[in-house]
Amino acid sequence: MQNINIGFIGCGNMARSLIGGLIADGHPAARISAADPDPAQRERARQFDIELLEDNDEMIKGADLVVLAVKPQVLPAVVRAAAASLTQRKPLLISIAAGIRIDTLRRCLGADLPTVRAMPNTPSLIQAGATALFAGPAVTREQRDLAEGIMRSVGLALWLDDEAQMDAVTAVSGSGPAYFFLVMEVMARAGVKLGLAEETARLLTLETALGAAKMAMESESDPAALRQQVTSPGGTTEQALKVLMEEGHIEELFARALAAAKRRSEELAAELGEA
Protein backbone atom coordinates (compact mmCIF):
# COMPACT_ATOMS: atom_id res chain seq x y z
CA MET A 1 0.00 0.00 0.00
CA GLN A 2 2.95 2.34 0.56
CA ASN A 3 3.52 2.59 -3.20
CA ILE A 4 -0.02 3.86 -3.80
CA ASN A 5 -0.66 7.53 -4.50
CA ILE A 6 -3.72 8.54 -2.45
CA GLY A 7 -5.67 11.70 -3.20
CA PHE A 8 -8.43 13.39 -1.23
CA ILE A 9 -11.17 15.57 -2.63
CA GLY A 10 -11.86 17.72 0.41
CA CYS A 11 -9.67 18.63 3.40
CA GLY A 12 -12.32 18.61 6.13
CA ASN A 13 -12.25 16.91 9.52
CA MET A 14 -12.76 13.36 8.28
CA ALA A 15 -10.26 13.76 5.45
CA ARG A 16 -7.67 15.08 7.89
CA SER A 17 -8.34 12.23 10.32
CA LEU A 18 -7.74 9.70 7.53
CA ILE A 19 -4.60 11.50 6.36
CA GLY A 20 -3.26 11.55 9.91
CA GLY A 21 -4.11 7.88 10.39
CA LEU A 22 -2.43 6.87 7.13
CA ILE A 23 0.77 8.73 8.00
CA ALA A 24 0.77 7.30 11.54
CA ASP A 25 0.34 3.86 9.95
CA GLY A 26 3.47 4.39 7.86
CA HIS A 27 2.11 5.64 4.54
CA PRO A 28 4.57 8.19 3.06
CA ALA A 29 3.27 11.76 3.23
CA ALA A 30 4.90 12.32 -0.17
CA ARG A 31 2.36 9.90 -1.68
CA ILE A 32 -0.68 11.73 -0.28
CA SER A 33 -2.31 14.78 -1.84
CA ALA A 34 -5.51 16.67 -1.15
CA ALA A 35 -7.52 19.26 -3.05
CA ASP A 36 -9.92 21.81 -1.61
CA PRO A 37 -11.04 25.19 -3.00
CA ASP A 38 -11.20 26.62 0.54
CA PRO A 39 -7.77 28.02 1.54
CA ALA A 40 -8.67 27.74 5.24
CA GLN A 41 -9.26 24.00 4.89
CA ARG A 42 -5.99 23.57 2.99
CA GLU A 43 -4.18 25.48 5.73
CA ARG A 44 -5.57 23.11 8.39
CA ALA A 45 -4.16 20.15 6.44
CA ARG A 46 -0.70 21.74 6.10
CA GLN A 47 0.43 20.07 9.35
CA PHE A 48 0.81 16.76 7.47
CA ASP A 49 3.37 18.00 4.93
CA ILE A 50 1.37 16.57 2.02
CA GLU A 51 0.76 18.10 -1.40
CA LEU A 52 -2.15 20.54 -1.17
CA LEU A 53 -3.97 21.74 -4.27
CA GLU A 54 -6.91 23.96 -5.10
CA ASP A 55 -7.95 22.05 -8.22
CA ASN A 56 -9.45 18.53 -8.06
CA ASP A 57 -8.48 17.68 -11.64
CA GLU A 58 -4.83 18.47 -10.94
CA MET A 59 -4.81 16.18 -7.92
CA ILE A 60 -6.57 13.33 -9.76
CA LYS A 61 -3.85 13.21 -12.46
CA GLY A 62 -1.42 11.44 -10.14
CA ALA A 63 -3.80 9.49 -7.88
CA ASP A 64 -4.21 5.71 -7.84
CA LEU A 65 -6.97 6.03 -5.23
CA VAL A 66 -9.27 8.98 -4.62
CA VAL A 67 -11.19 9.52 -1.38
CA LEU A 68 -14.37 11.54 -1.87
CA ALA A 69 -14.49 13.48 1.38
CA VAL A 70 -16.91 16.34 0.81
CA LYS A 71 -20.39 16.95 2.21
CA PRO A 72 -23.10 14.70 0.73
CA GLN A 73 -25.12 17.68 -0.48
CA VAL A 74 -22.33 18.86 -2.78
CA LEU A 75 -20.77 15.52 -3.75
CA PRO A 76 -22.89 14.87 -6.87
CA ALA A 77 -21.90 18.25 -8.33
CA VAL A 78 -18.24 17.73 -7.38
CA VAL A 79 -18.18 14.30 -9.02
CA ARG A 80 -19.82 15.59 -12.20
CA ALA A 81 -17.26 18.38 -12.43
CA ALA A 82 -14.39 15.90 -12.01
CA ALA A 83 -15.94 13.11 -14.09
CA ALA A 84 -13.69 13.59 -17.14
CA SER A 85 -10.49 13.43 -15.06
CA LEU A 86 -11.73 10.48 -13.00
CA THR A 87 -12.84 8.41 -15.98
CA GLN A 88 -9.54 9.07 -17.76
CA ARG A 89 -7.40 8.14 -14.72
CA LYS A 90 -9.72 5.33 -13.44
CA PRO A 91 -8.60 5.35 -9.79
CA LEU A 92 -10.24 3.35 -7.04
CA LEU A 93 -12.86 5.61 -5.45
CA ILE A 94 -13.71 5.56 -1.76
CA SER A 95 -16.74 7.66 -0.87
CA ILE A 96 -17.19 8.59 2.80
CA ALA A 97 -20.23 10.78 2.11
CA ALA A 98 -23.28 9.61 4.04
CA GLY A 99 -26.35 8.78 1.97
CA ILE A 100 -24.69 8.78 -1.45
CA ARG A 101 -25.25 5.38 -3.04
CA ILE A 102 -22.88 3.81 -5.53
CA ASP A 103 -25.52 3.98 -8.27
CA THR A 104 -25.77 7.73 -7.68
CA LEU A 105 -22.01 8.11 -8.10
CA ARG A 106 -22.11 5.98 -11.26
CA ARG A 107 -24.75 8.25 -12.80
CA CYS A 108 -22.77 11.36 -11.86
CA LEU A 109 -19.61 9.91 -13.41
CA GLY A 110 -21.27 8.49 -16.48
CA ALA A 111 -19.03 5.45 -16.00
CA ASP A 112 -18.65 2.40 -13.77
CA LEU A 113 -15.41 3.03 -11.87
CA PRO A 114 -14.35 0.73 -9.01
CA THR A 115 -16.06 2.32 -6.01
CA VAL A 116 -16.13 1.51 -2.30
CA ARG A 117 -18.64 3.19 -0.07
CA ALA A 118 -17.48 3.75 3.53
CA MET A 119 -19.35 4.97 6.60
CA PRO A 120 -16.83 6.09 9.24
CA ASN A 121 -17.82 7.90 12.43
CA THR A 122 -16.38 10.87 14.27
CA PRO A 123 -14.09 8.92 16.67
CA SER A 124 -12.01 8.31 13.54
CA LEU A 125 -10.61 11.74 14.40
CA ILE A 126 -8.72 10.08 17.29
CA GLN A 127 -8.03 6.77 15.48
CA ALA A 128 -10.86 5.06 17.40
CA GLY A 129 -13.44 4.97 14.64
CA ALA A 130 -15.82 2.30 13.42
CA THR A 131 -16.29 2.04 9.65
CA ALA A 132 -18.56 -0.12 7.53
CA LEU A 133 -17.57 -0.71 3.90
CA PHE A 134 -19.44 -1.88 0.82
CA ALA A 135 -17.73 -2.65 -2.49
CA GLY A 136 -19.28 -1.98 -5.86
CA PRO A 137 -19.22 -4.73 -8.52
CA ALA A 138 -16.14 -3.34 -10.30
CA VAL A 139 -13.92 -3.55 -7.18
CA THR A 140 -11.22 -6.25 -7.20
CA ARG A 141 -10.01 -8.27 -4.23
CA GLU A 142 -6.81 -6.24 -4.16
CA GLN A 143 -8.78 -3.00 -4.14
CA ARG A 144 -10.97 -4.25 -1.30
CA ASP A 145 -7.84 -4.94 0.74
CA LEU A 146 -6.53 -1.48 -0.08
CA ALA A 147 -9.76 0.24 0.99
CA GLU A 148 -9.88 -1.78 4.18
CA GLY A 149 -6.27 -0.89 5.00
CA ILE A 150 -7.02 2.80 4.67
CA MET A 151 -10.03 2.69 6.96
CA ARG A 152 -8.26 0.46 9.48
CA SER A 153 -5.71 3.23 9.91
CA VAL A 154 -8.36 5.10 11.92
CA GLY A 155 -10.05 2.20 13.73
CA LEU A 156 -12.27 -0.82 13.11
CA ALA A 157 -13.34 -1.64 9.54
CA LEU A 158 -16.05 -4.16 8.63
CA TRP A 159 -17.49 -5.23 5.26
CA LEU A 160 -21.20 -5.35 4.45
CA ASP A 161 -22.79 -7.75 1.95
CA ASP A 162 -25.68 -5.42 1.12
CA GLU A 163 -25.44 -1.69 0.50
CA ALA A 164 -28.93 -1.23 1.98
CA GLN A 165 -27.40 -2.09 5.37
CA MET A 166 -25.57 1.26 5.26
CA ASP A 167 -28.73 2.92 6.56
CA ALA A 168 -28.67 0.69 9.65
CA VAL A 169 -24.94 1.37 10.05
CA THR A 170 -25.68 5.08 9.97
CA ALA A 171 -28.22 4.61 12.76
CA VAL A 172 -25.95 2.44 14.93
CA SER A 173 -22.38 3.70 14.53
CA GLY A 174 -22.61 6.75 12.29
CA SER A 175 -24.96 8.60 14.63
CA GLY A 176 -24.01 6.42 17.59
CA PRO A 177 -21.38 8.68 19.21
CA ALA A 178 -24.08 11.29 19.81
CA TYR A 179 -26.15 8.77 21.79
CA PHE A 180 -23.24 8.07 24.12
CA PHE A 181 -22.46 11.79 24.44
CA LEU A 182 -26.08 12.31 25.48
CA VAL A 183 -25.83 9.58 28.14
CA MET A 184 -22.64 11.18 29.45
CA GLU A 185 -24.30 14.59 29.45
CA VAL A 186 -27.37 13.51 31.41
CA MET A 187 -25.40 11.32 33.85
CA ALA A 188 -23.06 14.19 34.71
CA ARG A 189 -26.02 16.54 35.14
CA ALA A 190 -27.76 14.03 37.41
CA GLY A 191 -24.56 13.74 39.47
CA VAL A 192 -24.59 17.50 40.02
CA LYS A 193 -28.22 17.30 41.18
CA LEU A 194 -27.11 14.65 43.69
CA GLY A 195 -24.62 17.12 45.18
CA LEU A 196 -21.37 16.54 43.27
CA ALA A 197 -19.28 19.41 41.95
CA GLU A 198 -19.78 19.85 38.20
CA GLU A 199 -16.18 18.93 37.29
CA THR A 200 -16.22 15.93 39.62
CA ALA A 201 -19.44 14.64 38.09
CA ARG A 202 -18.06 15.17 34.59
CA LEU A 203 -14.77 13.39 35.18
CA LEU A 204 -16.38 10.46 36.99
CA THR A 205 -18.89 10.06 34.17
CA LEU A 206 -16.32 10.20 31.36
CA GLU A 207 -13.87 7.82 33.03
CA THR A 208 -16.69 5.40 33.83
CA ALA A 209 -17.81 5.46 30.17
CA LEU A 210 -14.24 4.86 29.00
CA GLY A 211 -13.71 2.02 31.46
CA ALA A 212 -17.01 0.33 30.61
CA ALA A 213 -16.25 0.48 26.88
CA LYS A 214 -12.75 -0.90 27.46
CA MET A 215 -14.11 -3.76 29.57
CA ALA A 216 -16.72 -4.58 26.92
CA MET A 217 -14.08 -4.59 24.15
CA GLU A 218 -11.60 -6.75 26.06
CA SER A 219 -13.99 -9.18 27.76
CA GLU A 220 -15.11 -12.50 26.31
CA SER A 221 -18.54 -11.83 27.84
CA ASP A 222 -21.19 -9.81 26.03
CA PRO A 223 -22.51 -6.52 27.49
CA ALA A 224 -25.60 -8.22 28.94
CA ALA A 225 -23.42 -10.65 30.92
CA LEU A 226 -21.14 -7.82 32.08
CA ARG A 227 -24.19 -5.87 33.25
CA GLN A 228 -25.42 -8.86 35.22
CA GLN A 229 -21.99 -9.34 36.80
CA VAL A 230 -22.01 -5.84 38.29
CA THR A 231 -25.65 -5.94 39.38
CA SER A 232 -25.90 -7.32 42.93
CA PRO A 233 -29.38 -8.45 44.00
CA GLY A 234 -30.93 -5.78 46.18
CA GLY A 235 -28.07 -3.38 45.51
CA THR A 236 -27.81 0.17 44.20
CA THR A 237 -27.15 -0.80 40.57
CA GLU A 238 -30.24 -3.00 40.51
CA GLN A 239 -32.40 -0.11 41.67
CA ALA A 240 -31.04 2.21 38.98
CA LEU A 241 -31.49 -0.41 36.25
CA LYS A 242 -35.09 -1.03 37.30
CA VAL A 243 -35.84 2.63 36.67
CA LEU A 244 -34.09 2.57 33.29
CA MET A 245 -35.44 -0.74 32.05
CA GLU A 246 -38.84 -1.20 33.70
CA GLU A 247 -40.00 2.38 34.10
CA GLY A 248 -38.05 4.05 31.31
CA HIS A 249 -38.37 1.18 28.80
CA ILE A 250 -34.88 2.03 27.58
CA GLU A 251 -34.66 -0.89 25.14
CA GLU A 252 -37.87 0.15 23.39
CA LEU A 253 -36.74 3.79 23.41
CA PHE A 254 -33.42 2.98 21.73
CA ALA A 255 -35.15 0.74 19.19
CA ARG A 256 -37.44 3.62 18.24
CA ALA A 257 -34.56 6.10 18.15
CA LEU A 258 -32.40 3.96 15.85
CA ALA A 259 -35.37 3.16 13.64
CA ALA A 260 -35.97 6.91 13.24
CA ALA A 261 -32.31 7.46 12.33
CA LYS A 262 -32.39 4.62 9.80
CA ARG A 263 -35.59 5.96 8.27
CA ARG A 264 -34.07 9.42 7.89
CA SER A 265 -30.93 7.91 6.32
CA GLU A 266 -33.12 6.16 3.73
CA GLU A 267 -34.96 9.41 3.01
CA LEU A 268 -31.71 11.34 2.56
CA ALA A 269 -30.30 8.67 0.26
CA ALA A 270 -33.41 8.93 -1.91
CA GLU A 271 -33.23 12.75 -1.96
CA LEU A 272 -29.51 12.82 -2.76
CA GLY A 273 -29.95 10.16 -5.42
CA GLU A 274 -32.14 12.59 -7.33
CA ALA A 275 -29.59 15.43 -7.04
Whether residues 154 and 180 fall in one domain: no
Count how many domains the chain has: 2
Are residues 42 and 131 located together in one domain of the fold? yes
Q: Do 73 and 119 share a structural domain?
A: yes
What integer pLDDT is reported at residue 272 of this predicted model? 82
Model confidence at 8: pLDDT above 90: yes
Q: Give dist(CA 127, CA 151) in Å, integer.
A: 10
CATH number for the domain that contains residue 249: 1.10.3730.10
What domain range is 109 assigned to?
A: 6-166
DSSP string for residues in 159-174: E-S-GGGHHHHIIIII
Residues 20 and 156 in one domain: yes
pLDDT tens digits, one per residue of 46-66? 999 999 999 999 999 999 999
The Cα 100–Cα 57 span in angstroms is 21
Indicate if 56 and 89 belong to the same structural domain.
yes
C-alpha span between 162 and 130 (Å, rounded): 18
The confidence band for 274, taking pLDDT boundaries of 50, 70 and 90, is low
Which helix (DSSP H) or strand (DSSP E) does residue 17 occupy? helix 13-24
Model confidence, pTM: 0.89
pLDDT at residue 275, rounded to an integer:
60
- What integer best gives the mean pLDDT of the chain? 94
pLDDT of residue 47: 93
One domain for residues 130 and 202: no
Task: Mark whether 125 and 94 lie in a shared domain.
Answer: yes
Check residue 25 and report its DSSP letter: T
Identify whether 1 is part of a domain.
no
